[in-house]
Each structure stands twice: as C-alpha cells, then as structure tokens.
Amino acid sequence: MNSLPTKQPTDAASAADDVDPDMTPEELQTVAEQIATNVEAVIDGKHEAVRVALTVLLAEGHLLIEDVPGVGKTMLAKALAKSVDSSVSRIQFTPDLLPSDVTGVSVYNQPDRRFEFKPGAVFANIVIGDEINRASPKTQSALLECMEERHVTVDGSTYPLPDPFIVIATQNPVEMEGTYELPEAQRDRFMARIAMGYPDEQAEIEMLTGRDTSSPLARIGAVVSTERLRQMMSLARRVFASDALKQYAVAIAHGTREDPDLRLGASPRATLQLVRAAKARAALAGRDFVLPDDIDDLAIPVLAHRLLPTSRAMGQHHERTAVLSEIVARVVAATPVPTGQQK
C-alpha cells in the first residue's frame, strides 16, 4: 500500500462555506477544459474516457476503470488526481491486504491508557484503488460504507471522510489469473465504468515519442484547487432536470428490470446516479439544463456494469452493453422524448 498525501483534507463542515454560488456555467466549462487538457497530456487518444471521468468527478461519484493490463488505467487515475490540488492516497490491492489497511485501526496508547484511531489510506479527497479485484471480497467490502455514506465505522465509532471524497478504482478482467469479481453491491457503488481500449496507431506513436526520457505524469501539476472543485460540484448539482427528463431516465431503468435477457436490472441508486451524471455532463457543456442526449450518452457507462445477463443470454453471446442499447432504443421509440429547456 502506497500513500501519496499532497495536502491535508479539509473539514467537511467548513467546505460548504467555500462554495461560490455565483460561479457561472461558462467558468465551470473553462476550468473543466483545463483539467481535460491536463489529463490528455498524459493519456493519448482517449478523449471520451477522459470526458466520462470528468463527468463522474463533477457528479461526486466513484469511477471504475476496467481493461487489460498496460493500457493506461492507473495513468488516467493518477493524472486526474494530480489535476486537483487535494489530498491523494493510493492503495495497491493485493490478496493479503486487510480491511483495516484501507479503513484504519484502533491502536492502544500505553502512556494514555486508551485506544487511538489511526486512519487508513481511505482518508483522502481522492483515493486511487489500483487493481481492486486482486484483493479478497472481504477487503473489497471495506469500501462499501466509505463509498456510499462517506464515513468509516471502526469499533463502534464513526469517522467522517474528507469532502469531497472520490474513489477511482482500476481492475483487470475477471477472467485473468488472481482476480476476484466485484460483488454486485460493490459495483453498484461506482457511478460509472469505463474501458480504456488500445490506442490507435498515431496515438501509440506519439506515446513512444513523448515518453523516451521521462514519465508524462512528472510534467503535469494541479490546475484546480479543492475549493474551486467544490464550487464546480455545487453548480453541477443545481443543473435543472425536468420531470419529463427524470421520467425518461426511470423508463430506461425499468426497462432493464423487465428485460428477459437480464436477471438483475438497474437499481434505484443507478437511476439517481444516471440523473446526477447527466447534470454534470450538461454542466461540462456549459448548460444549466439536462438534455435527453446527456442521458443517452451516459446510459452505458453508468448502467451496464450493474446489469447481470441470464444464462440464456450469455449462451447466445448477448453482451449486456448490447442488451442495454436495445432497451434504450425501445424506450426512445415508446417514450415522447422530452425537449431540454432552460429553467
């Protein structure tokens, strides 16, 4: 386990006082473009992956990056973390990692004759969980309370986590040796899942040229403060989503629960996070209202990893992303698509 603190966490109670209610969508868009440019200086040819990662960051969600080794999963997580001037910790998940290594442990102080809580690596604004599915399910579950409730309970005492608190986890495909598939409850905590994929030829050539002498991570720094990020999150929360838009998102979620090719559909938490992510996507585009396109663009990264296909669907090689695309198409055909309008 490696801990890379860059700044002491800010108290959550004082964080609300730093939020600027007068931040404009144009200012948010400008800062977001600076973050994206910073990250894309490290990750070549992955504009959409970076855009989804930024969406999750603004929506105060957690991000799961899944793909084969060597395609830049950890590099993307580190670049995003380095772009924000906040406290950062990195946890290398291994089979012998214990839950207390993640959350912390109570240690007896002999001189004072009392137990003291020693915070674990999860006490940071941005937590990078590298190869999360190489740890045992017992250790993976240590993040359940942290990710959902933003606090840790150890020996009956509850300790709040810093604000903001974001987990960016990477994992290898479950078919690989030494990996444990994340349980459904754990996957449902992640707002979105993205796959990096291999770079195209030109991007790979540029990577070979630009990384001869040093790592690109060493050449980037923070472009936004924690306080400024809170302002952006606050503005994203206030983006307007009409009732018709919410009904559209619910129709997609219900479609996953009724589809015969799926034995587990999207949870109500998934619907909530889909709308939150859509608000953040609208804010990134400089809008203060959500469009149906925002829902459509995010349906697969937000919902697909939560779905479980039936045995029959798996036997017919029906991928959950393909099933979800068909569900969205049916909902679009059956539902009057709401027109986004300013509040």
**Per-residue confidence band for 191, with pLDDT thresholds at 50, 70 and 90:** very high
- In angstroms, rounded to a whole number, what is the distance separating the alpha carbons of residues 223 and 45? 21
HSE-CB at 131 with a 13 A cutoff on CA atoms is 16
State pLDDT tens for residues 76-104.
999 999 999 999 999 999 999 999 999 99
- Model confidence pLDDT, tens digit, residues 120-169: 999 999 999 999 999 998 999 899 999 999 999 998 899 999 999 999 99
Given pLDDT bands bounded at 50, 70 and 90, which one contains residue 175? confident
Integer Cα distance of 187 and 62 in angstroms: 10
Residue 195, judged by CB atoms within 10 A of its CB (0-12, 13-18, 19+), counts as middle
pLDDT tens for 290-339 read 999 999 999 999 999 999 988 887 777 678 888 999 999 999 888 765 55
For residue 19, pLDDT over 80 is answered with no
Give pLDDT tens digits for 24-83.
Answer: 888 999 999 999 999 998 888 889 999 999 999 999 999 999 998 888 899 999 999 999
% the chain with pLDDT above 90: 62
pLDDT at position 112 is: 85
The pLDDT score that the predictor gives to residue 215 is 80
Give pLDDT, residue 333.
86
pLDDT bin (cut points 50, 70, 90) of residue 2 is very low
Q: Is the per-residue pLDDT at 8 higher than 90?
A: no
Residue 13 has pLDDT above 70, yes or no: no
pLDDT for residue 317? 62
What is the architecture of the domain spanning 239-334? Orthogonal Bundle (1.10)
Residue 249: closest CA among 227, 226, 278? 278
Helices and strands in the chain, H and E counts: 15, 13
How does pLDDT run across 229-279, given as a tens digit for each residue?
999 999 999 999 999 999 999 999 999 999 999 999 999 999 999 999 999
Q: What is d(CA 248, CA 333) in angstroms, rounded to the nearest whole number?
A: 11
CATH tag, 12-234: 3.40.50.300
Query: With a threshold of 0.75, does the pTM exceed it?
Result: yes
**Above 50 in pLDDT, residue 17?**
no
Domain coordinates of the chain in residue numbers? Answer: 12-234, 239-334
Task: Compute CA distances 80 → 222, 228, 233, 283, whole Å.
Answer: 9, 15, 15, 18
> In terms of C-beta density within 10 A (0-12 exposed, 13-18 middle, 19 or more buried), how is residue 73 classed?
buried
